[in-house]
Amino acid sequence: MFSIILDQSVKTKDNVPVVIDTIVYYKITDRSKFFELSNNPQNIIDNLAIKALHFAANEIQSSIEMICIKMKDALNQKTEFYGIKIYPIDLKRVSFENEDEKERKNK
Average pLDDT along the chain, 107 residues, taken 10 residues at a time: 89 84 92 83 88 82 77 91 89 72 53
pLDDT at 61: 64
pLDDT at 25: 93
Task: Supply the DSSP string of the chain, one letter for each residue.
Answer: -EEEEEEEEEE-TT--EEEEEEEEEEEES-HHHHHHH-S-HHHHHHHHHHHHHHHHHHHSSS-HHHHHHHHHHHHHHHHGGGTEEEEEEEEEEEEEPPHHHHHHHH-
pLDDT at 73: 92
